[in-house]
Amino acid sequence: MFRGSIPSDWGLLLVEKKDSIANAAIHMFFVPFDLGIIWINTAGEVVDTAIAKKWVGLKSPTRPARYILEVQPEHLGKFQQGDRIDFVKV
């Protein structure tokens, strides 16, 4: 929120305590640019993707998710429902 944009090679990973539809919802209030959203469950499976439009309310996944990855919309096509994502601690 309150940023002008995000770099094309940048993303933000939000982590919830458990898989949920309601808790994985995001809002776009005070976000002046579109975002690509990738929802991922505890098992690492992409359960949904969407473009979240600037300033336009809430977006939630169609299936429960624990992780919410926010990226530039141009990267959204790299992710499909059913893809497996592994998180590596660095």
Model confidence pLDDT, tens digit, residues 18-70: 999 999 999 999 899 999 999 999 999 999 999 999 998 899 999 999 999 99
Q: What is the mean pLDDT of residues 68-90?
A: 94
pLDDT at 28: 93
Q: Cα separations (Å) of 54 from 22, 25, 28?
A: 20, 15, 6
Q: Is the pLDDT of residue 17 over 90?
A: yes
- CB half-sphere exposure, 65, CA atoms < 13 A: 26
Residue 8 has what pLDDT?
Answer: 86
Confidence (pLDDT) at 3: 67
Phi first, then psi: give them for residue 65, nearest 5 degrees. -140, 155
Distance between CA 80 and CA 62 in Å, rounded?
A: 14
Tokens of 2: 């309150």
How many angstroms separate the CA atoms of 22 and 19, rounded? 9
